[in-house]
Amino acid sequence: MTLHSPFPADVSPVSPVVPTPVADGRMVYGMSIDGAIVPAAGGGVIESTDPVTGEVWATIPRGQPEDVDRAVMAAHRAFHNPEWRGLSASARGALLRKLADLVAQNGDWLAHVEMKDNGKLLAELNVQMKYLPNYYYYYGGLADKVQGATIPSDKPGVFNYTRYEPLGVVACIMPWNSPLPLMSFKLAPALAAGNTVVLKPSEFTSASTLEFVKLAELAGFPKGVINVVTGYGHEMGDALVSHPKVERIAFTGGPVAGQKINEAAARSMKRVTLELGGKSPNIIFDDADLDQAIKGAVAGIFAASGQTCVAGSRLLLQRSIHDQFVQRLIDFLGDVTFGHPSDPGTQIAPISTAPQMAKIEEYVAIAKGEGAKLVRGGCRASVEGYPNGLFYEPTIFTDVTNDMRIAQEEVFGPVLSIIPFDDEDDAVRIANDTIFGLAAGVWTQNLGRGVRMAERVRAGTVWVNNYRSTSITSPFGGFGHSGIGREGGITGIMEYLELKSVWLSTAVDIPNPFIRR
């Protein structure tokens, strides 16, 4: 079985994973349940389309609730199986580090598969895949360093200590914009903590997850510890979120879906981690290094075609520099290059999905209707050689007020709203006037101002004189409607553990049993 059809001849897995079948030039994927590659119970499939060419390049199973039940029950059995439950924390860590090695060896392959699915720049994906092993190295190293405590009790005759224990089955639901990094934010700490997992990637971008899970099998994870189900959220989501054997839901996606998941999980007292996007302010003061701030503004909204949860989609400019900065920004984008995401010269890759393209076009129309002034873009881009590609021009609106929908609702595309402000207080007022609070940027050469703004802006991450810097060592999450909980860092593993208090009697004789000690 070869893998030549959708990829260049020199692009293939490095490790001897089970090859994915190719039929009629399309990759044919199965779900991974209990260590076996299986079709959907109902036999349905979903076609995966390359956003650059508009052509179908793969099919994935269209799962149903019964597939969810099969996967969850497999994970439940694996959780209680001594083959997994009997492993020491150090042994779990060793498995994660072995997985990290395999991910490092296959980074080029995973990058190409993800590019085919969501159209992200291969240059950025290569960076992401080179970093991806660090998720598993980090949590592999942390697995045996989660410690309880001995508590100096004020009760005589007892010894009190605490211990952390895994929850059980964790359901991880990922979006389409960065499937493997956002999956790893969840999977690595969940496994390090000793849980078992059911992964549900987006129906638009399931292929890279299905390739990744083969590496976990090679690493030696027991059957059922990691399972992958694929399909439409509206057909499988309720079954996954409400399943009685699922203990925690880890979700990255839109706020509407996140709210529904939170409500459904609450009915069965499930724990949740929700990262739900934002409307992040990127604030530029008149004392900033404007050359660097221009780059920060571009990185904040036009990198990845604006399809990032931390997109700096509200650019707040101090009035004294507003006009010159807008012109410099337009000039900077004048020679922006569209093209195939595998081309090193391409700067702007396509929008990942047709529904997302329609959403962007809708919001551009809304902004015009609200009275915002379009000063750049606002239309699809025509790219030679790719007439069916989902390319969209970097789009800039001025004359935006913060009460407009374009300033309050997440577009998730290359659409920038520019809002002027007068001083620090005004900038803070505008920045915080939103239901979201995921990220923010501040550009100033005044160190005191940078510290003050970082304290006053309500956001889970604040960058000062940079934008989009992240690390597995640092917690990530949001305020308000941007989510619940944190991913990354030591905090990340604690989300997947239960704290237990243990009381040991050291007394020779138990006192009066009718009186609480």
Catalytic site positions: 275, 309
DSSP three-state, residue 509: coil
Full DSSP string of 373-394: EEEE--SBPP-TT-TT---B--
Paired residues of 47 in beta bridges:
59
Rounded distance, CA 168 to CA 247, Å?
A: 6
DSSP 19: P
**Two structure tokens written together for 286:** 């008149």
Q: E strands along 355-478, which residues?
A: 373-376, 395-398, 415-421, 436-437, 439-443, 461-464
Full DSSP string of 127-158: HHHHHTHHHHHHHHHHGGG----EE--SSTTE
Q: 60: closest CA among 19, 106, 24, 26?
A: 26
Rounded distance, CA 399 to CA 416, Å?
A: 12
Q: Is the dihedral of CA 243, 263, 257, 193 positive or negative?
A: negative
Rounded distance, CA 346 to CA 386, Å?
A: 13
Paired residues of 421 in beta bridges:
318
Main-chain dihedrals φ then ψ at residue 462, nearest 5 degrees: -125, 125
CB 398 within 8 A of CB 326: yes
Rounded distance, CA 101 to CA 121, Å?
A: 24
Q: 107: closest CA among 92, 128, 123?
A: 128
Rounded distance, CA 493 to CA 506, Å?
A: 33
DSSP three-state, residue 292: helix
Rounded distance, CA 142 to CA 151, Å?
A: 23
Angle 173-177-183 from CA coordinates, rounded to 5°: 35
